[in-house]
Chain A
Amino acid sequence: MATIIEPTIFELSSPGRRGVKMPASDVPEMALPPKEFLRSELPLPELAEVDVVRHYMSLSKMNYSVDSGFYPLGSCTMKYNPKINEDTCRLPGFLFTHPLQPIETVQGNLALMFEMQEWLKEISGFAGVTLQPAAGAHGEFTGVLMMAAYHKLRGDTKRTKMLIPDAAHGTNPASVGMLGMQVVTIPSDARGNVDLRALESACDDTVAGMMLTNPNTLGMFDENIEKVVALVKDCGALMYGDGANLNALLGIVRPGDLGFDVMHFNLHKTFSVPHGGGGPGSGPVGVSQRLVDFLPSPLVGILEESEGDMAPLYGFVTPKNTIGRMKAFHGHFGGGLVRSYTYIAMHGPDGLKDISQYAVLNANYLQARLRDTYKIPFDRICMHEFVMEGKFEGSDVRALDISKRLMDFNFHPPTNYFPLIVSEALMIEPTETENKDTLDRFADALIKIAEEAKTQPDLLHNAPITTKFGRMDEVKAARELVLCCWLPENYEQMA
């Protein structure tokens, strides 16, 4: 039997134990529905409040987080999440407004959303923004739907291919797959740019568009970006920008100015919405003039202009050729938009530029410190992240071992085995909210680990050794597929 470190809430349950109680009913007793409509049992845990608090406190201590240490997970932008955002997003005026309230009762919310649309347009250089998408992948899907709708409305129905570089995030081809489009992979050249020749030969009148992450997942800003955009546009296709790496570009360059037609923002990366153990994120999408009529509905607009001291009346508007609704209600308002709004308001134009400059400085500093120890396959000035190889000649130590060993130094590992075009990839994104001491300690740890790989490789194969849990048996999890637990008294019936 496996050792149980922390029982589940089902195992902690004891019949008859009470937590929070509800008040007694203040209305005359009403008859329940006929018995055939009622459930006969409710197999849920029974605990006291203190049991619940201790359980979740105990779980929280098993997590590594940005608040506890350095989390250089490439492509995820694990920056510090300001505490003030946690307060502003919980203001009662935001917490307790219903999404279907009449607009005249929620002008504060609508003003915030309108300004947020305007700010994101200004930051990105786009003509329109929707705040509706719930996450980056959801924003991508939104963008690809708009691209398809654009060609369809023009009667240009043979455009069924999407060009995607080999370094792209997996969500790009998956979003395209959801529309049944065909993915054409474009290789990268020796400097980590899009291979222009391959692009030129792939680009024809069957191409709907290209999805490009820039800077790409190698952390490289494409040195030929203007040529890439021109090639795609010359064949009548649209240019999609994956905004996952926008943390490198604030006040540096606007994707709209470079000729992109559509891009999703990841408010949970660039604009400090906390990652929450996997979500919720928030993935607004910006578009160029030719796609504004296809944006999801509704958008926030001004219904009556301001007059004198009177504020304008904000409300909802529907774009002419809208692709429709992407989710119920208006996007991730409270947990997403309010936090990001607070963050942008506190940075202003100069502060935003600082973010990207220091994010890029920190990445380049780490790259410079590690260059002599680890192979960096695309070695030039990087943007906010870089990729190195987690392997050494004559050693069987792999990127996975290095990652696990970093835990013993109390660091979260980088993203590993991505992008796929680098063997044993370690993708490192320090973000702007780390100081030089932390970066030095991290570089020192990686240099020490490289030494250990030569002298005591088993230490790495067995890592981590100082953490509460060791490596997991992932094969067992997939084979046995135990996905739920049940109350002890229901176990035999359910399992």
Chain B
Amino acid sequence: MTYIPISPAERDAMLKTVGVKSLDDLFEAVPARHRFPKLDLPPALTEMEAAAHLGEMAASNENVRQDLISFLGAGAYNHYVPSVVDHILRRGEFYTAYTPYQPEISQGTLQAIFEYQSLMASLTGMEVSNASHYDGATATAEAVNLAYAQFRGKRKKIVMSPSVHPQYRQVIRTYTQAMGLEEAGDDSARHEDGPEALISLFDENTMIVIVQYPDFFGRIYDLAQVINAAHEKGALVCVVANPTALLMLKSPGDMGADIVVGEAQPFGIPLWYGGPYLGFFTTRKSYVHKMAGRLVGETVDVRGNRSYVLTLTAREQHIKRERATSNICTNQGLLALGCSVYMSVLGKQGLQEVANLCYQKAHYAAAELSKIKSFGLCHPEPFFHEFVLCTPKPASEVNQYLLDHGVLGGYDLGADYPDMQNHLLVAVTEMNSKEEIDTLVELLKEM
């Protein structure tokens, strides 16, 4: 009866109105031999007991704020979240509402999503944004669906850089396994290549080119040349971008991208062991009808008030069913709100400060680490807040040694790239103090 607000007397009165004798009588349509199974689950906890139990489980982890110094990134980043963000997210008016199907009484959610769309379009240099996807990986997979629909299935080739996040590439493969597509470029052995190496793979059958910016190894390239080359063959270009990097770097929209997607977790969303996060998806207005996901548009109500509604719903599953652009139904509404609050409360200057701190500290770390004998930066290209450190021993051994000293050294690239066993992907954010960076350097010196 934990959250059921009905007294026994009320229950009996209601049963009488319904015309049955007991609660069990309501289930006669259920096959008798399977009705009322005994569930083998632990007995109910009270709130006090549940709080203690969950507290113990949480405390048995080692976390990156209280227990460990972390240089782990690889698609999820440890950033400071201003206090205001969670205060707003804890408003029941936001978190206990559903998809704004009834706009008269959902303008809060609708305007917040409209503002989120505007913020993401401004950041990426694009014209439109949808109301969000599950995460960066699924947003990227939906970009493939957009391209497939754009060419009505007549173009079947994806060209994907091996320096797109390995898990994103896996998700794209899962999503498209029944579509009979041709894949090119995604060769883990070619990880040293820059984006221009993809150009020779573009042809008239290419529907989409997918590159990451900064790439999975943290490298920054000017993508204009690869984008132009793709456009010459009529293909679309999807750039998977890190939003923090976009605060400092030239936007993909500026370089001519057709679709910009990515993981907005760095903008106000906790690490939370991998989710829920927030996939952003922005594009040019000409592709809006092929875009998946919910969209909020501006309008007026009958009283002449500026207001917002879900729009272009004819693309969606509840109308088009099997011909819909995607089966997507929910968005990540609450996290899109969190992302907007994060961007608003830091504002243009605060966000620039975050980006600058990430850049400065990462470059300090890179400079100090590369001074250590037999360590060095693996790549000469410019980077933002993540870089690959070449290690004299396998990165897995380096990580184990660092973990023994309370440090998460970074991501062991050998897990995804067989010939990168001695490569450690190191991420540095504003959360890493100089002292932490110096600790990492000292530990590696002593190794």
Q: Are B76 and A28 in contact (CB under 8 A)?
A: no
Asked whether A47 and B344 contact (CB < 8 A) given A27-B364, A365-B17, A369-B17, the answer is yes
Question: Besides A19-B82, A477-B298, 18 other CB < 8 A contacts?
Answer: A42-B247, A45-B348, A92-B58, A96-B63, A98-B271, A98-B408, A111-B60, A122-B40, A137-B327, A140-B327, A174-B322, A324-B173, A327-B137, A332-B276, A367-B18, A436-B13, A436-B14, A470-B303
For A45, list chain B residues within 8 Å (CB). 119, 343-344, 347-348
Q: Does B263 contact A (CB under 8 A)?
A: yes
Residues of A within 8 A of B36 (CB): 251-253, 353
Which residue, of B96, B127, B270, has the highest number of chain A Cβ atoms within 10 A?
Answer: B96
Q: Decide yes or no whether A289 CB sits under 8 A from chain B.
A: no
Which 4 pairs from chain A and chain B are nearest by CB?
A329-B274, A93-B58, A99-B274, A334-B272
Asked whether any CB of chain A lies closer than 8 Å to the CB of B254, the reply is yes
Q: Among A59, A323, A362, A494, which residue has the most Cβ atoms of chain B within 10 A?
A: A59
CB-based contact B108/A61 at 8 Å: yes
A486, B5: Cβ atoms closer than 8 Å: no
A325: Cβ under 8 A from any B Cβ: yes
Most buried by A among B43, B57, B137, B332: B57
Could you tell me which residues of chain B, from 139 to 191, have a CB within 8 Å of some CB in chain A?
145, 165, 167-168, 170-171, 173-175, 177-179
The answer to whether B309 touches A474 (Cβ under 8 A) is: yes
Using known A-B contacts A98-B72, A368-B19, A484-B121, determine if residue A435 contacts B254 with beta carbons closer than 8 Å.
no
The answer to whether B103 has its CB under 8 Å from any CB of chain A is yes
Segment at the B interface, from A80-88, A198-206, A302-310, A450-458: A80-88
A469 to B326 Cα, complex, angstroms: 31
For window 226-285 of B, CB contacts with A under 8 Å fall at: 246-251, 254, 263, 270-277, 285
A30/B167 contact (C-beta < 8 A), A135-B329, A474-B309 known = no
Residues of chain B lying within 8 A (CB to CB) of residue A486: 118, 122
What are the residues of chain B within 8 A of A470 when measuring CB–CB?
104, 301-303, 305
Given contacts A93-B58, A473-B300, contact A137 B317 (CB under 8 A): yes
B371 within 8 A of A: no
The proximity string for B residues 66-101 relative to A, scoring 1 for CB distances below 8 Å and 0 otherwise, is 111010101110101010101110111111111111
Chain A residues near B254 (CB-CB < 8 A): 39
Give the CA-CA distance A138 to B327 in the complex, in Å. Answer: 8
**Residue contact B356 to A25, C-beta cutoff 8 Å:** yes
Q: Contact at B63–A92, with CB atoms within 8 Å?
A: yes
> Is the C-beta of A315 less than 8 angstroms from some C-beta in chain B?
no
Q: Mark A15-34, 1 if CB is under 8 A from B, else 0.
A: 00111111101111111111
Residue of B nearest to A56 (CB): B88
Q: Which residues of A contact B78 (CB under 8 A)?
A: 96, 98
Chain A residue contacts of B437, Cβ below 8 A:
27
Contacts of B357 in A (CB 8 A): 22-23, 25
Q: Give Cα distance in the complex from A274 to B94, angstroms.
A: 10
Q: CA–CA, A179 to B347, complex, Å?
A: 43
Q: Which residue of B lies closest to A381 (CB)?
A: B26
| Cβ-defined contact, B324 with A170, below 8 A | yes
Q: Is the C-beta of B138 less than 8 angstroms from some C-beta in chain A?
A: yes
A58 and chain B: residue at smallest CB distance: B108
A28 to chain B, nearest CB (A): 6
Q: Are B323 and A177 in contact (CB under 8 A)?
A: yes
B112 interfacial by beta-carbon distance below 8 Å: yes
- Across the interface, which residues of B come within 8 angstroms of A223, CB to CB? 29
Within 8 Å CB of B106, what residues of A? 62-64, 277
CB–CB B322/A176 < 8 A: yes
Q: Mark A372-404, 1 if CB is under 8 A from B, else 0.
A: 000000001100000000000000000000011
Contacting pair A436 B360 (CB below 8 A): no
A444 at the interface (CB under 8 A from B): no
A73: chain B residues within 8 A (beta carbon): 98, 101
Contact A180 B179 (CB under 8 A): yes
Q: Give Cα A3 to B220, complex, Å.
A: 45
Known: A45-B348, A360-B27. A6 touches B111 (CB 8 A): yes
A469–B303 CB distance below 8 A = yes
Is B104 a contact partner of A352 (Cβ separation < 8 A)?
no
From A30, A59, A109, A367, contact of B363 by CB (8 A)? A30
A173 at interface, CB cutoff 8 A: yes
Bound CA span A361–B7, Å: 13
User: 30 A-B contacts, Cβ less than 8 Å apart?
Assistant: A3-B305, A19-B345, A26-B433, A30-B359, A44-B119, A44-B351, A45-B344, A62-B108, A64-B97, A93-B58, A97-B61, A97-B273, A98-B273, A100-B76, A101-B62, A105-B403, A111-B60, A122-B39, A137-B328, A170-B318, A252-B27, A277-B109, A329-B167, A345-B53, A348-B44, A357-B23, A362-B14, A364-B26, A471-B301, A480-B299
Task: Give the CA-CA distance A480 to B96 in the complex, in Å.
Answer: 31
What are the residues of chain A within 8 A of B98 when measuring CB–CB? 71, 73, 76, 78, 275, 277-278
Chain A 317-350 per-residue mask, 1 if CB under 8 angstroms from chain B, else 0: 0000001111111111111101001101111111
Q: In the bound complex, do residue B306 and residue A281 qualify as a contact, i.e. CB atoms below 8 Å apart?
A: no
Contact pick for B17, options A28, A106, A122, A368, CB 8 Å: A368
Q: Cβ of B201 < 8 Å from any Cβ of A?
A: no
Asked if B331 is an interface residue, CB under 8 A from chain A, the answer is yes
Closest chain B residue to A42, Cβ basis: B348
B200 within 8 A of A: no
**In this assembly, does A231 line the interface, its C-beta being within 8 Å of a C-beta of chain B?**
no
Instruction: Tell me the nearest residue of chain B to A296, going by C-beta.
Output: B174
In the bound complex, do residue A21 and residue B353 qualify as a contact, i.e. CB atoms below 8 Å apart? yes
Q: Which of B283-320 contact A (CB under 8 A)?
A: 285, 288, 294-309, 311-312, 316-320
- Known A177-B327, A484-B128; contact A95-B272, beta-carbon cutoff 8 A: yes
User: Is there an interface contact between A418 and B318, defined as CB atoms closer than 8 Å?
Assistant: yes
Q: Please measure, in the bound complex, the distance between the C-alpha atom of A182 and the C-alpha atom of B23, giving whole angstroms.
A: 41
Stretch with Cβ within 8 A of A (4 or more), from B204-212, B334-342, B387-395: B334-342
Q: Which residue on chain B has the smallest CB distance to residue A359?
A: B4
Instruction: Assess the B88–A66 pair: CB atoms within 8 A.
Output: no
User: Known contacts A137-B327, A138-B134: does B59 contact A93 (CB below 8 Å)?
Assistant: yes
B51 at the interface (CB under 8 A from A): yes
Contact of B57 among A30, A86, A108, A138 (CB under 8 A): A108
The answer for the CA separation of A399 and B73 in the assembled complex, in Å, is 51
User: B447 an interface residue at 8 Å Cβ cutoff?
Assistant: no
The verdict on A102 contacting chain B, using a C-beta distance below 8 Å, is yes
Question: Are A171 and B317 interface neighbours, CB within 8 A?
Answer: yes
Please give the distance in Å from A87's CB to the nearest CB on chain B.
7
Is B317 touching A174 in the complex (CB atoms < 8 A)?
yes
Residue of B165, B300, B311 touching A328 (CB-CB under 8 A): B165
Question: Which residue of A has the minimal Cβ distance to B128?
Answer: A483
B56 — which chain A residues lie within 8 A by C-beta? 108
Which residues from A are CB-within-8-Å of B334? Answer: 274, 276-280, 335
Q: Are A134 and B276 in contact (CB under 8 A)?
A: yes
Q: Which residue of chain B lies nearest to A223 when distances are taken between CB atoms in the complex?
A: B29
Q: How far is the CA of A434 from the CA of B70 in the complex (A)?
A: 46
Alpha-carbon separation in the docked complex, A38 to B255 (Å): 12
Cα-based distance from A141 to B109 in the complex (angstroms)? 27
Query: In the bound complex, how far is the Cα of B264 from the Cα of A277, in angstroms?
Result: 18
Contact A413 B107 (CB under 8 A): no
Q: Is there contact, CB below 8 Å, between A326 and B171?
A: yes
Nearest chain A CB to B268's CB is how many angstroms away? Answer: 11
- Tell yes or no: A445 within 8 A of B by CB: no
A278: nearest chain-B partner, CB-CB: B333
Would you call A278 and B330 a contact (CB within 8 A)? yes
Q: In the bound complex, what is the Cα–Cα distance between A345 and B364 (angstroms)?
A: 47
Distance to closest chain B CB from A153 (angstroms): 13
Contacts of A413 in B (CB 8 A): 102
A358, B15: Cα distance in complex, Å: 10
A333 lies within 8 A of B273 (CB) = yes
Interface residues of A in 415-454 (CB under 8 A from B): 415, 418, 432-436
Chain A, 55-77, CB within 8 A of any chain B CB: 55-57, 59-68, 71, 73, 76
Flag if B304 contacts A138 (CB, 8 Å).
no
**In whole angstroms, what is the CA distance A471 to B307 when docked?**
10
CA distance in complex: A81, B174 (Å): 33
Supposing A171-B327, A173-B322, A328-B167 touch, asked if A60 and B108 sit within 8 A by C-beta, the answer is: yes
